[in-house]
Homo-oligomer: A and B are copies of this chain.
Amino acid sequence: MAPLPLANIRMTDQFWSRWQRVLVETTLPSQYGQLVSTGRLENFRRAGKREQGGFQGLYFNDSDVYKYLEACAYGLCAHESTAVRGQMNEVIALVEAAQEADGYINTFFQLMHPDLKWRNLNSLHEMYCGGHLIEAAVAIYECLGERKLLDVAIRFADHVASVFGPGKRRGYCGHQEIELALIRLSKATGEKKYSDLGSWMIEERGNPPSVFEAELDDAPSLALQPAARHMLKQQGKYSGEYAQDHAPIRQHRAIVGHAVRAMYFYTAAADLADSRHDEPLGEALEEIWNNLTRKRMYVTGGIGPSAHNEGFTRDFDLPNLTAYAETCAAVGLILWGRTLLELTGDSEYADVIERALYNGAMSGISLSGDLYFYTNPLESRGNHERTPWFECACCPPNIARLIGSVGWVVASGADDGFWIHIPAGFDADLQIHGVPVKIRSVSNYPDSGKIEVTVEVPTPVRFNLRVRIPHWADEATFELVGDGHEAEYEGGYACFDLEWKGSTTLKIDLPMTPKWVEADPRVRDDLGRAALVRGPLVYACEEKDAGFAPQLFVVDTDIEPEERQEPMLEGVVSIVASGVREEDGSTGELYAELGASRTFDAQAEFIPYYAWCNRGPNNMQVWMRHF
């Protein structure tokens, strides 16, 4: 199983075609504007002129530029835009000029601390930035066929390989990223040495002595980011959990530390386990994944509950109001899920991808495409709001590259056929057994669960069309029009392994009824509460719609919620639930004998969680009290 080139899978449903249009028309141009106004491009310009000093922003800011470039590649694959292409090419030229003769590139060190390069791998993100350079370069090369940035990336990767590796210096980055990038670079170039370097970094990590612990004694480089020391030490001792450096990867069992680091790390590791048929590694990853998705994931697919370490805490510790659930972590979960899905073909991974994609990841961006959440709490008391940018701006370009590359999680190609993981609308072209196959999914997902997939072949060809049965769909039906062929079921997929001729249509019906879900009782924060879902979407209640703070509302789950087609919020199915609500405001005393407050019958309208906070900040809640 492997993703199709993005040029060969074009999103056609209302949801994704709108997002991809907004990506190219609004998101990418506004992000370019931020790169200019925050000095991120100026850093490259100065480095290109071999100036010294004057670096602006945080030391890892180069990475935002690279992620923006990667998103441009995907966006332009969906929609050509002269403006975006021009800005992209300008940035590529700046990056190329900034690279030093030996392949090194990192404008923070070049401008400010050329003597401190590669001395604080733990905190200073040189390889992390370089990893994003490589990803951008591969994306532009593969999607747009341009290799100028790929050559920059190759020179950088060769430079890293000249410093680090078996028989050279032992080293890996505090923030994983280059591992998966090196593997991508190998696939793009056919050069095995890059994935060898990446896999060496994966395997070296967590083996004592830690590379990072030794760095804590390097005062000059440590002084550049002293706070990192705290994250590595717990009760005065080196822990390493923050950066998944606590044990070799094959010994990992629970998900720990900084969420985004963990996601990028395990994404690379799963890719490695896949390509090397490394079963023990795959089993370790499955166990970590299960810990994450069965004990430490929000119903929205958000992960990493704590602001303290931007990451994980304990099983079932999932506070709603203070949920960190970083946008980047949800994007990372989708990346990791995709590699495990490709490794196993098990729909459980696609279930999680879908959950994160339509809820906790897409909540990270406004419907307008130019405002972002860094954190994605499941409750708001009115003070959570999207903003145009962040000092640490990892999330905006990350959600941009996800939107642009969503075709990769929607479907996959394979030697023996085609996989549909998410029944969105798309047009796909691929070759199966040498025959050009067109697969068109006509869909209004996630609003509707009725999908028609048409397979067109010029000559008969036998292959297996697999369509995932979502975990939430109780009575899914699959009907090959005019054909008695019955599906076989394997790994959570409905499989149609037959000889396809001419044009064949598969009708899929995934009934979408609003449902109330509850959490495992060990999630103490959700006890006595229920969340409203419909299909893949988790719903939220906003004060804007309810007319009162949703925290006051107690849902009567015996009364069936009613669906409404709403033109608001770019078109959503909203759902009205019934119950009672408490009167807000004072009962006279801060604490009074029970019975002082009054309740009324009430109804409240719910909207998809991803769409909340598009009409200003206000009270919001996902997990509702109920009776």
Residue ranges of A at the interface with B (Cβ–Cβ < 8 Å): 293-295, 297, 299, 317, 319, 321-322, 381, 515-524, 527-528, 530-531, 549, 551-552, 554, 557, 582-587, 589-597, 625-627
Contacts of A584 in B (CB 8 A): 521-522
In the complex, the chain B residue whose C-beta lies closest to that of A521 is B582
- Given the complex of chains A and B, what is the CA–CA distance between A527 and B591 in angstroms? 12
> Given known contacts A297-B590, A594-B626, what 18 new A-B pairs fall within 8 Å (CB)?
A317-B381, A319-B321, A381-B524, A516-B594, A517-B591, A520-B587, A520-B589, A520-B591, A521-B582, A521-B584, A521-B585, A522-B586, A523-B590, A527-B551, A527-B552, A528-B528, A528-B554, A530-B594
User: Is the pair B521, A594 in contact by a Cβ cutoff of 8 Å?
Assistant: no
List the B side residues contacting A295 at CB < 8 Å. Answer: 590
Query: Of A317, A321, A515, A519, which is in contact with the most chain B CB atoms at under 10 Å from its CB?
Result: A519
Decide: B625 and A527 in contact? CB cutoff 8 A. Answer: yes
User: What chain B residues lie within 8 Å of A531 (beta carbons)?
Assistant: 591
Which residues on B sit within 8 Å (CB–CB) of A299? Answer: 591
B585 touches A518 (CB 8 A): no
Q: What residue in chain B is nearest A297 (Cβ atoms)?
A: B590
| 28 A/B residue pairs, CB under 8 Å, sorted by A | A294-B590, A295-B590, A299-B591, A322-B322, A515-B594, A516-B593, A516-B594, A517-B593, A518-B592, A518-B593, A518-B594, A520-B586, A520-B589, A520-B590, A521-B582, A521-B584, A521-B585, A521-B587, A522-B585, A522-B586, A527-B552, A527-B582, A528-B528, A528-B554, A528-B625, A531-B591, A594-B626, A627-B627
Least CB distance from A56 to B in Å reads 16
Which partner residue on chain B sits nearest A625 by CB separation?
Answer: B528
Q: Are A594 and B557 in contact (CB under 8 A)?
A: yes
Chain B residue with Cβ nearest A472: B593
A587 to B316, CA, bound (A): 13
Complex alpha-carbon distance, A279 and B6, angstroms: 75
Structural contact, B625 and A594, CB atoms closer than 8 A: no
Residues of B contacting A590 in the complex (Cβ-Cβ under 8 angstroms): 293-295, 297, 519-520, 523
Instruction: List 6 A-B pairs, minimum CB-CB distance, nearest first.
Output: A516-B594, A524-B551, A518-B594, A521-B582, A517-B591, A528-B625
Cα–Cα distance between A626 and B625 once the two chains are bound (Å): 11
A319, closest chain B residue (CB): B321
Q: Taking the nearest CB of chain B, how far is it from the CB of A331, in angstroms?
A: 20
Q: Complex Cα distance A269/B67, Å?
A: 56
Q: How many copies does the complex hold?
A: 2
The reply to whether A519 and B591 contact each other, CB–CB distance below 8 Å, is: yes
A511 to B519, CA, bound (A): 42
Q: Give the complex CA separation of A188 and B557 in angstroms.
A: 67
Q: Considering only CB atoms, which chain B residue lies closest to A531 in the complex?
A: B591
Which residues of B sit under 8 angstroms from A593, Cβ to Cβ? 515-518
- The winner among A381, A517, A520, A530 for most chain B CB atoms within 10 A is A520
Taking a contact as CB atoms under 8 Å apart, the answer to whether B524 and A594 are in contact is no
Contacts of A524 in B (CB 8 A): 381, 549, 551
Find chain B residues with CB under 8 A from A521 CB.
552, 582-585, 587, 597
Point out the residues of chain B lying under 8 angstroms from A582, CB to CB.
Answer: 521, 527
Nearest-neighbor residue (CB-CB) of A530 within chain B: B594
A594 to B521, CA, bound (A): 12
Distance between Cα atoms of A590 and B290 in the complex (Å): 11
| Complex interface: chain B residues within 8 A of A317 (CB) | 381
Q: Which of A299, A321, A521, A524 gathers the greatest number of chain B CB atoms within 10 Å?
A: A521
Closest to A519 in B: B591
A584 to B523, CA, bound (A): 10
A42 to B111 CA separation, bound complex (whole angstroms) = 49
CA distance A552 to B524 in the complex (A): 8
A422 to chain B, nearest CB (A): 19
- Check B517–A592 contact: CB distance below 8 A: yes
Q: Point out which of A530, A583, A593, A625 has the most chain B C-beta atoms below 10 A from its C-beta.
A: A593
Contact indicator A596/B518 (Cβ below 8 Å): yes
Query: In the complex, what distance in Å separates the CA atom of A463 from the CA atom of B519?
Result: 64
Q: How far is the CB of A250 from chain B (nearest CB, A)?
A: 26
Q: What CA separation (Å) do A527 and B528 show in the bound complex?
A: 12
How distant is the Cα of A299 from the Cα of B293 in the complex, in angstroms? 37
Across-interface contacts of A515 in B (CB, < 8 A)? 593-594
A474 to B381, CA, bound (A): 35
Q: List residues of chain B with CB within 8 A of the CB of A596.
A: 518
What are the residues of chain B within 8 A of A583 when measuring CB–CB? 521
Residues of B within 8 A of A319 (CB): 321
A117 → chain B closest CB, angstroms: 27
Chain B: minimal CB distance from A338 (Å) = 20
Residue numbers in B under 8 Å from A520 (CB-CB): 585-587, 589-592
Bound complex: CA A595 to CA B558 (Å)? 11
* CA A530 to CA B587, docked complex, whole Å: 14
In whole angstroms, what is the CA distance A528 to B579 when docked?
14
B594 touching A517 by the CB < 8 A rule? Answer: yes
Residues from chain B with Cβ under 8 Å of A557 in the complex: 594
Of all chain B residues, which has the CB nearest A518? B594
Partner of A518, one of B523, B528, B554, B597: B597
A47 and B293 alpha carbons, distance in the complex (Å): 58
The complex places the Cα of A583 from the Cα of B521 at a distance, in Å, of: 7
Q: How far is the CA of A528 from the CA of B594 in the complex (A)?
A: 10
Report the minimal beta-carbon distance from A317 to chain B, rounded to whole angstroms: 8
Q: In whole angstroms, how far apart are the Cα atoms of A587 and B527 in the complex?
A: 13
Which chain B residues lie closer than 8 Å to A519 at the CB level? 590-591
Which B residues touch A530, using CB under 8 A? 594
